[in-house]
Amino acid sequence: MPVIDKERPVLVTGASGYIASWIVRFLLEEGHTVHATVRDQSKTEKVAHLTEIASRESGQLRLFEADLLKTGSFSEAMEGCALVIHTASPFQLNTKDPQRSLIDPALKGTRNVLETAKQTPGVQRVVLTSSVAAIYGDAIELESAPGQIFTEEQWNESSSLQHQPYSYSKTVAEREAWKIAGTQPEWDLVVINPSFVMGPSLSQRVDGASAQFMQSMGNGQFKAGAPDLYFGVVDVREVARAHLLAGFLPEAEGRHILVASAHSVLEMGTMLREAPGGQYPFPKKKLPNFLLYLFGPFQGFSWKYLRRNLGYPLRFNNRKSRAKLGLKYRPVAETLREHIQQLDEDGLL
Ligand SMILES: NC(=O)c1ccc[n+]([C@@H]2O[C@H](COP(=O)([O-])OP(=O)(O)OC[C@H]3O[C@@H](n4cnc5c(N)ncnc54)[C@H](OP(=O)(O)O)[C@@H]3O)[C@@H](O)[C@H]2O)c1
């Protein structure tokens, strides 16, 4: 049970990402020194929001260049750090070459960062951003889950390179992390398993799956009807807060499901329509399943995916995150409303 030295820097990998940006912001607000890695430091527009936050907060921000696929590239950034928060990993749902674009960066990247942690004196804890995608593969699996609820005990055993490759990338990366953590005594591993993350972004990037889903809710893509798919949803600010709690609470251990509540796409549309300013063409009805079977394959939904997910509600047990990390969840309706508001204000709808 290490007492993490808060005076020493905290490393955040993939710091310019959607979730990581909120982690960096909270760390800077608390006065920490943050070693933030980005893939390409010359792309200053990707970090402008971070440098702006650093200019008004008490913490110090230092930027480093590092790539998940370049062995050793995290060494310099990790030097002197007590806490390593590893968030960097691609989150794309439609990709032609999943091995290259998802599995390699997730798995080799986790190996790269954690092996560097083994070689860096003074690292006390590693917090890994995994996902509920490492807990279950398809919604149908809820039927055979003990008590018909997903918990931290479960592992995704159905995803593969061919079926749900993003979920597969998160599963193999988390498994690898536990394996490496078990080979050394210097630091412990704490894992965060968020469900679908929504809520306002600190940057105007829309290349991530969360922003893209929210854009499709607001731009009329589901006007003809929403697919009968269900997601656990959690606010990005809760996800970021959970990383700090998992990082600094000495007794934090193991995996943590983060979910406020689970909803269908149509339920999310209804919440958005009923909110003040709900003027966008949010979905109003369900898309008939047969239409998805007809057209889904052209939009990246395989029949296998549809058979195993369409019409299957989800349930998650978030008790551990509340009891052990002390996390409090805001209502999903507030999260969705504030995300649409941010996209609207930034002219991204
Ligand atoms: N969003 C969700 O709903 C959700 C849910 C559960 C778990 N997660 C996990 O949360 C983490 C962050 O996701 P996010 O939603 O914040 O996505 P994001 O905004 O797309 O951030 C992904 C980050 O990974 C970095 N990255 C990708 N490939 C890299 C490479 N080869 N080398 C170095 N960095 C690389 C990106 O760097 P660049 O800035 O250079 O592109 C970016 O900073 C991921 O591990 C994701 O699997 C996300």
Looking at ligand 1, which residue's alpha carbon is closest to its atom 7?
131
The amino acid at residue 80 is G
- What does the pLDDT look like over 324-345, one tens digit per residue? 999 999 999 999 999 999 999 9
The amino acid at residue 26 is F
CB 87 within 8 A of CB 246: no
Backbone angles phi, psi at 258, to 5 degrees: -115, 115
Q: Give the CATH number of domain 10-345; options: 3.40.50.720, 2.60.40.10, 3.40.50.300, 3.40.50.1220.
A: 3.40.50.720
- Residues with a catalytic annotation lie at 170
Q: Is the pLDDT of residue 294 over 80?
A: yes
CB 52 within 8 A of CB 61: no
The token duo for 252 is 């934090």
For residue 93, what pLDDT is reported? 77
- Check if 67 has its Cβ closer than 6 Å to any atom of ligand 1: yes
Helix axes 18-29, 48-56, angle to 10 degrees: 10
Identify the DSSP state of 347. Answer: T
- Check if 45 has its Cβ closer than 6 Å to any atom of ligand 1: no
Q: Which residues contact 170 (CB under 8 A, 6 or more apart)?
A: 89, 106, 130, 131, 133, 134, 156
Average pLDDT, the chain: 95
Q: From the CA of 23, how far away is ligand 1's center (Å)?
A: 13
Domain boundaries, the chain: 10-345
In testing the pocket of ligand 1, which one of 89, 131, 207, 235 has its CB within 8 Å of the most ligand atoms?
89
Q: Is the pLDDT of residue 11 over 90?
A: yes
Q: From the CA of 144, how far away is ligand 1's center (Å)?
A: 31
Looking at ligand 1, which residue's alpha carbon is closest to its atom 40?
39
Backbone angles phi, psi at 247, to 5 degrees: -75, -40
What's the mean pLDDT in 264-293?
A: 90
- What does the pLDDT look like over 232-258, one tens digit per residue? 999 999 999 999 999 999 999 999 999
Looking at ligand 1, which residue's alpha carbon is closest to its atom 33?
67
- What does the pLDDT look like over 193-209, one tens digit per residue? 999 999 999 999 999 99
